[in-house]
Structure 1
């Protein structure tokens, strides 16, 4: 029962879309209606409102951290085991990608994944973030940076967490993130993927 409670809570926390919250807060169009139509920080940046994009980025990252941190600090001492914690990791990811509050139309999970990794072990978060920043500086393509970080995360988890259910949950998280980027992968292969900061109108015309 405890595991079900924390898994359900994690899914509901994940279902809060900060891109949509930010769009309402700053009087911007629904992010599902312009640009890449993805409710995430990169698409919010296409509005030109950097504060809205930052709010989205931080909000989505913090919710991933909060869901896992709650399970660690309040679940583990009261009987939640490592398998339950692994399910929490997957649940908050599923909540972000398929949120119950927004007709199951969610984001791709990059910021939320970073928050999850930081909550599990700061070294995992640092490895993923460092990879993302390095790739972004080199290529200026957010999706390529995210995909590379998604490939690095399970390796980092295996290195620091070993053969653990948590490592398995990070493999699932990364697989889900890559799946959600399938359109971006196709655009990358065609050489048509947009750069960070490209305006929504430019993206729709490209």
Structure 2
């Protein structure tokens, strides 16, 4: 168990650190994603810079990181709730603070959804549905992400998942809220722009105030 823990924990962090959005944008557009749009490596910024299909690939790639990280955690550390929790949490932390990007990264929504899909596909589908409904109603991607994150631990509990899964859901949701703190501030002050809205173009392709709920 200890040998597996030594391997799985850093492996999951490194797996999460893989910058799918950065790689996809470079392959399709030949540009550094960090210098355009919001500068974030998430799928939302990929969609602004490279379009829908590259953004879809980036989002799926980020989700697969979470899915495979959860598989490793449950396969090798499932008998230890604490180590399982750490391993699944680290794959999201790796995406948010990537070793390969000087500890910067995305906001972990797609990677979190990937972990959740492995733990409970029913809860994952319902969280995704919450995101879709909220975005359809409000056109705020950030509000959809926050709503889905809030529903996540509740759904894991209602589906009677193991306690370690529920605790992971609580901490993962808190991390999503932490990474969206700027979005929350703009929502409160009425400054968050809706999907598709832009203001004046700034340096390096930055759009001040643009909807920035990166995945």
Structure 1 stretch displaced more, 161-170 or 132-141: 161-170
Partner of 1:23: 25
State which of 57, 60, 67 in structure 1 corresponds to 2:59: 57
1:75 matched to 2:76? The reply is yes
Distance (Å, rounded) in 1 between the aligned partners of 2:85 and 2:126: 19
Query: In the TM superposition, what whole-angstrom CA distance separates every residue of 1:157-185 from its partner, at most 9, and x where no partner exists?
Result: 12123571221111111101100000111
Partner of 1:11: 13
Distance (Å, rounded) in 2 between the aligned partners of 1:162 and 1:80: 15
Equivalences for 1:121-136 in 2 at 5 Å? Answer: 121-136=120-135
Shift of 1:100: 0.6
Partner of 1:93: 92
Distance (Å, rounded) in 1 between the aligned partners of 2:121 and 2:143: 23
Q: 1:197 to 1:46 in 2, by over 3 A?
A: farther
Distance (Å, rounded) in 2 between the aligned partners of 1:179 and 1:129: 19
Q: 1:60 to 1:199 in 2, by over 3 A?
A: farther
Q: 1:153 to 1:8 in 2, by over 3 A?
A: same
1:204 matched to 2:203? The reply is no
Aligned CA-pair RMSD: 2.0
* Off by >6 Å, runs of 4+ in structure 1: none
Distance (Å, rounded) in 1 between the aligned partners of 2:189 and 2:160: 37
Equivalences for 1:186-201 in 2 at 5 Å? Answer: 186-198=185-197, 201=201
Structure 2 spans left out of the alignment, 5+ residues: 210-215
Query: In the TM superposition, what whole-angstrom CA distance separates every residue of 1:113-149 from its partner, at most 9, and x where no partner exists?
Result: 1100001111121121111111111111111100011
Shift of 1:45: 1.1
Q: 1:199 to 1:19 in 2, by over 3 A?
A: farther
Shift of 1:39: 1.0
Distance (Å, rounded) in 2 between the aligned partners of 1:48 and 1:75: 38
Structure 1 spans left out of the alignment, 5+ residues: none
Shift of 1:62: 0.8
2:159 aligned counterpart, secondary structure? helix
Partner of 1:165: 164
Partner of 1:34: 36
Distance (Å, rounded) in 1 between the aligned partners of 2:150 and 2:194: 21
Partner of 2:213: none
